[in-house]
Every structure is written in C-alpha cells, then in structure tokens.
Amino acid sequence: MENVQSLPAHQQQQFMQHLEQMQMKDSLAMYNNLVARCFDACSYSFRSKTLDKSEVNCMENCSSRYIKMAQRVGLRFQEHQAMQQQQQQQK
C-alpha cells in the first residue's frame, strides 16, 4: 500500500475502485460457495416449499462452520503475511 501513496490521485482512485470490485467479487464467490455447499449437504427432501426442522438445523450448522473456517483461513493468511514481512525486513 505504500506504493499506492506515490501514485497520482486519479490512479489512486482507480486502484481503490478496482480493489473494491475485487473484494466484492470475492465476497459474492464466498457467499455463492456457501449456499451451494450447504444446500447440497442439507436439502434432501423436496416435499414442501419450506425446509423441515432438520434441514434448517443442518443449514445453520453448515453455514456457521463455513464462516468460521473462512475467518480462520483469513487469520492464518494474515499471520503468514506478517511473518513474511518480518523476514523481508530482517534481510
């Protein structure tokens, strides 16, 4: 991000817009993946328009586990990035 500060203002703005678009795409991809995985795992009976109690519980557990996993992966990635920065600074 230090290099971004050295860019002209209009390029900084373009970069930030591009970054926001990438983050939005990543968020939507994660959401779509969550929906697909949990639907495939939990929806097995199509006898009514609504989910039955066991399907609701399964969906809640599935989505909770998925979100926790995504948060954990994000934290591990941040830790890895921080360690790499420290190693770069020590060189």
CATH number, domain of 6, equals 1.10.287.810
> How many domains, in total, are found in the chain?
1
pLDDT per position as a tens digit, 7-63: 788 888 888 899 999 999 999 999 999 999 999 999 988 888 898 999 999 999 999
Domain of residue 44 covers 2-90
- pLDDT of 33 reads 94
- pLDDT of 1 reads 54
Residue 19, both tokens: 């970054």
Judge whether 45 and 55 are in contact, CB under 8 Å.
yes
Residue 2, both tokens: 């230090």
- Find, among 21, 22, 37, the residue nearest to 70 by Cα: 37
Packing angle, helices 53-90 and 9-42, rounded to 10 = 140
Binned at pLDDT 50, 70 and 90, residue 5 comes out as confident
Q: Tokens 């996993």 label which residue?
A: 69
- pLDDT of 64 reads 96
- pLDDT of 3 reads 74
Judge whether 15 and 7 are in contact, CB under 8 Å.
yes
